[in-house]
Chains A and B, each alone.
Chain A
C-alpha cells in the first residue's frame, strides 16, 4: 500500500473534509420529533436487551450509501441501522417490514 496514493476516507470519516470548509454550522438546536425520541428509546432498549451493540450500529450507519448518509436525518439513519442489525442477526425477517 506504501507506493500508491492512500485511498480516500470512508464517507463517514469527516475529520478535515475539504468539502465542508465553507459550510457554516447552524448553531440552533430544534427540538427532536416524536419519531426521533421513539427511535432513540427503541435503540436504548434493544441495546439493553443485548440485541444491538454500539459498534454494530456504527458499522451499519457507516455502511449506508453516501446519498443516504447525507440525505437521511440522524434518527432515520439510526432506524436504518437498527433494521440492518436486527435483520442480520435474524431477530426479524424482511417479511416483517415489507
Chain B
C-alpha cells in the first residue's frame, strides 16, 4: 500500500511547479490558500443536512431526487463548474452502494474530500464484485431479500445515497436526524443508526 506521507521529491516538485506558475503569473500562493479554504467548506455535513431535510419534507425529497445539484446549492454547496449530483433513494428491499472503479469519482461538493478507503484500490476492485463482504467489513449485514445495488460511478455524475430513515427516529428534529448521517452512510457502506440514547 502507498505510504500516506508524500515523498520529499514530490514535495519539492510541487514547490517548483508552484514557483514556475507564480513566475508566469498563472497562480499565486494567495489563490491557492483561498481555493483550499473554499474547498474545505464542503463536508459531509452538507449531505447530512440534505438527507435530514428530505426525510421530513416531501417536496424537498422530490427535488433532491429530481435535481440533486439544485438541492445541494440550496444547502450552500458551490455547484458552479461541478459535475451534476445524482441522488439514489434506498427503499425497503433496496440498498445502494457507490464506488468508482475507474478512478475515485465522489460527490465532493456535498461530502468534501473523498475518504482514504473510498480511494483505495481494494474498495474500487471489490465493491462491484463482492459488495456484501465489503459491507460486512463495516458491520453492515443486509438480509438476502434486500437487493444490493452497486453504483459504479464511471462517467459524468457524482452519486450520493438517500438512505432509509431508521425506525425509532419518529418526532426527531432535523438537526438530530442529520447527526445520524456520515460520509459512510451517504456512500452506502453503513446504515444510519439511532444511538442507544433516546432524544430529548
Chain A residues in the interface with B (C-beta under 8 A): 12-17, 19-21, 23-30, 32-33, 35-42, 44-49, 51, 54, 58, 61, 70-76, 79, 82-83, 86, 91-92, 96-97
Contacts and interface: CB of A to CB of B under 8 A. Distances in A.
Interface of B: 1-7, 10-11, 13-14, 16-18, 20-21, 24, 26-27, 31-33, 35-36, 39-40, 81, 83, 101-104, 113, 115-117, 119-126, 128-130, 134, 137-138, 152
Contact of B17 (A14, A25, A54, A97): A97
A79 B101 CA distance: 21
A24 to B, nearest CB: 6
A37 to B, nearest CB: 5
A12 B100 CA distance: 11
Given A40-B39, A42-B17, A97-B16, 18 more contacts: A12-B102, A14-B124, A16-B125, A21-B129, A26-B1, A30-B4, A41-B32, A41-B39, A42-B14, A42-B18, A48-B35, A76-B10, A82-B17, A83-B13, A91-B26, A92-B20, A96-B20, A97-B20
A71 to B, nearest CB: 6
Given A41-B32, A51-B26, A29 B117 contact: yes
A15 B129 contact: yes
B101 A15 contact: yes
A25 B126 contact: yes
